[in-house]
Amino acid sequence: MEPQVVIATRIARELRDGMLVNLGIGIPTLVANHVPPGMTVFFQSENGLIGTGPVPEPGMALRWLTDAGGKAVTALPGASTFDSATSFALIRGGHLDLTVLGGLQVDQTGRLANWMVPGRMVPGMGGAMDLVTGAKRVIVAMQHTAKGRPKVVRDCTLPLTAERRIDLLVTELAVIAFPDGRATLIETAPGVRLDEVRAATDADLAIALAEGA
């Protein structure tokens, strides 16, 4: 199974019926493909859409129906579109039950960096600052390393997205929570050993699972 799919399927287990959920660009968009059968979740995109469905099949994308990153999405029956002012009123007003965001780094206290230095030819902040601050719960979906370098670090070297700490980090190797601002390993992915997680992590990890689990 591809790392991105491992991450998305695990995050889908955090969904609950009736939730209003924002999905960021990248890996988070895949979460919509793995909603448990029989569950109704309302996915929101900050460019003004509630009712986002799964990623469209090849050849079925509509050029005017995109997420906040410009990638094609689908809209479920009953979906609603609206302007950015209304969308950010939902976000800043604390109405989102959950946001799932991508990440470039997460530090050992749960602070997120998911944008790059201004002037670089890469995406900027977008709505992430508002989402981390305004959502009731924040989950980060990212791969554990990039080009062999850990992304779970002692201190972020990239600009922080917000002062607020995230609630949960899900990678292809592990699930890490941050009770009392301390990175705590609560799960390893299927087939992944504890020593593999430690070797790929540049942060102090508390362990809340048995050795060899």
Alpha-carbon distance 98 to 21, whole Å? 5
Number of residues assigned to the chain: 213
Which residue in 2, 46, 163, 172 is the catalytic one? 46
* 163 is an active site residue: no
User: What burial letters (b/e) apply to 86-119, b meaning 16+ CB within 10 Å?
Assistant: ebbebbeeeebbbbbbbbbbbbbbbbbbbbeeee
β-sheet bridge partners, residue 187: 175
Which residues are catalytically annotated? Answer: 46
